[in-house]
């Protein structure tokens, strides 16, 4: 199965979640569009300890750390969803989006428009900050308006029981994992949450 990791904002923790999912599922990893350096693929590679995960090359690597449509324009590149093809692999594939789901690829298409083309299940990452309830519910509404229903949600950061409760109440999303506010992000931390994810998905 393929999973598309998207989020409610740019710094929600998509790359960390992608590494955890790769570790848990021994899945491959692919970031279709990389805008700015360092490469998220290199971060995932450094965090995963299993010997199965393969890191597939990006379709586009843009030098500027900004919205892909803006970076592409600066570099005289045109990004189109028609240009993307799923990497060849028989394993599960973790696909990491760029920024939030409505980050533009060009003047007419958004990052989330890759999902129907790639036929992947959506995992939504939400960090918990003042305003995150609104941003999360708006993201879910935007997805469902397009006929896309997330498989579930992963909360990342300092726990907020009431925020999490009301988000789940209104969205109906299943909580796949809680990632706490960790002082260090390393392989041991990723392995810990990968084990938690596997326990939760078998319950």
Residue 203 has a pLDDT of: 79
Residue 202 has a pLDDT of: 82
CATH of the domain at 27: 3.40.50.300
Tens-digit pLDDT profile for the chain (203 aa)? 999 999 999 889 999 999 999 999 999 999 999 999 999 999 999 999 999 999 999 999 999 999 999 999 999 999 999 999 999 999 999 999 999 999 999 999 999 999 999 999 999 999 999 999 999 999 999 999 999 999 999 999 999 999 999 999 999 999 999 999 999 999 999 999 999 999 998 87
Containing domain of residue 30, as a range? 2-201
Residue 75 has a pLDDT of: 96
- Specify whether the CB–CB gap between 106 and 15 falls below 8 A: no
Contacts 24+ apart (CB under 8 A), 60-64: 60/32, 60/33, 60/34, 61/34, 62/33, 62/34, 62/35, 62/36, 63/36, 63/37, 64/35, 64/36
- Specify whether the CB–CB gap between 36 and 63 falls below 8 A: yes
Q: Output the pTM of the full model.
A: 0.96
Distance, CA of 49 to CA of 154 (rounded, Å): 21
Q: Which residue has the tokens 């760029």?
A: 98
Q: Which DSSP symbol is given to 112?
A: G
Distance, CA of 182 to CA of 184 (rounded, Å): 5
Does the annotation count 31 as an active-site position? yes
* The total number of structural domains that make up the chain: 1
Give the pLDDT confidence of 51-74 residue by residue, as tens digits.
999 999 999 999 999 999 999 999
- Specify whether the CB–CB gap between 117 and 84 falls below 8 A: yes
Residue 73 CB coordination number (10 Å)? 17
- Specify whether the CB–CB gap between 19 and 190 falls below 8 A: yes
31, 117, 174, 192: which one is catalytic?
Answer: 31
């Amino acid at each position: 199965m393929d999973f598309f990791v998207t989020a409610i904002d740019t710094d929600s923790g998509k790359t960390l979640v992608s590494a955890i999912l790769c570790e848990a599922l021994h899945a491959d990893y692919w970031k279709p569009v990389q805008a700015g350096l360092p490469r998220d693929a290199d971060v995932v590679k450094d965090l995963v300890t299993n010997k199965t995960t393969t890191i597939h090359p990006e379709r586009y690597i843009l030098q500027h750390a900004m919205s892909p449509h803006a970076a592409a324009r600066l570099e005289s590149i045109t990004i189109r969803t028609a240009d993307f093809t799923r990497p060849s692999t028989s394993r599960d594939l973790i696909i990491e989006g760029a920024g939030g789901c409505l980050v533009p690829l060009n003047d007419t298409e958004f990052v989330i428009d890759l999902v129907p083309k790639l036929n992947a299940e959506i995992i939504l990452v939400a960090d918990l900050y003042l305003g995150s309830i609104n941003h999360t519910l708006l993201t879910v509404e935007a997805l469902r308006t397009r006929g896309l229903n997330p498989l579930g949600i992963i909360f990342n950061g300092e726990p907020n029981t009431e925020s999490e409760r009301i988000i789940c109440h209104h969205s109906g999303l299943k909580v796949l994992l809680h990632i706490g506010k960790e002082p260090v992000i390393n392989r041991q931390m990723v392995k810990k949450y990968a084990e938690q994810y596997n326990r939760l998905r078998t319950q």
